[in-house]
Amino acid sequence: MKSHAFHKYNTKLIEVQMKMIYCPNCRTGYSADAAMMQQQAAVGCHNCGFQFCALCQAQWGATHDTKRCQFDELQKQITELEQVLGPTNVIAQCPTCKIPFLKDDACEHMKCKTPTCPDWCFVCSAVRPPILAHSTHWHRPDCKFVGTEDISGEPMKQDCPECVKLGRRCDPPPQLKVPRRFDFDEY
């Protein structure tokens, strides 16, 4: 009996460490690392051919909402972090990839682990390139670093990637419903 409990414990430990997912049709197991789950949510089972979502295990199809699955998965991760770390620890999300972060030093300047994400402010989850190109007014309104200067005449900046992408002066980022967190409609 002890060996059965030990086997179940080890199996669960491996599932957690390897982020195992299972085909909902035939229960074939797959290792799904975070990068795969963020880049490509569709999985085709090699055993039975069933197409399913790596995040929610629902059948893949035209009605599947990958964005909702990614949002729900990130909310689950944040909840788990809060349960482990307690309410006194502050968690913020990268404004580009939305991955949750816990700050480990006094600096508010964050560098995401995702190489394509720009640096960002931990206090308000605003990307730094527009802040550096324009002014501190490009922090979110509730940020302790936000500027108070009049920006009505602020021109488009050629060194601001957001301005260049839009072809006009970018707008300062809006207030988030929950500080440092992105709701589904704020993605």
Claim to verify: residue 101 and residue 176 sit in the same structural domain: yes
Three-class DSSP category at 162: helix
Please tell me which residue, 34 or 18, carries the higher pLDDT value: 18
The torsion of the CA quartet 107, 115, 126, 162, rounded to 10 degrees, works out to 140
Claim to verify: residue 93 and residue 144 sit in the same structural domain: yes
pTM value is 0.69
Claim to verify: residue 52 and residue 118 sit in the same structural domain: no
Claim to verify: residue 21 and residue 107 sit in the same structural domain: no
The number of domains in the chain is 2
pLDDT of residue 139: 95
Whether the pLDDT of residue 145 is over 70: the answer is yes
Claim to verify: residue 104 and residue 141 sit in the same structural domain: yes
pLDDT of residue 126: 95
Q: 170: domain range? A: 88-186
Amino acid identity of 176? L
Please tell me which residue, 158 or 151, carries the higher pLDDT value: 158
pLDDT of residue 154: 86
Whether the pLDDT of residue 34 is over 70: the answer is no
Which DSSP category does 109 fall into?
Answer: E
Domain boundary residue among 64, 80, 110? Answer: 64
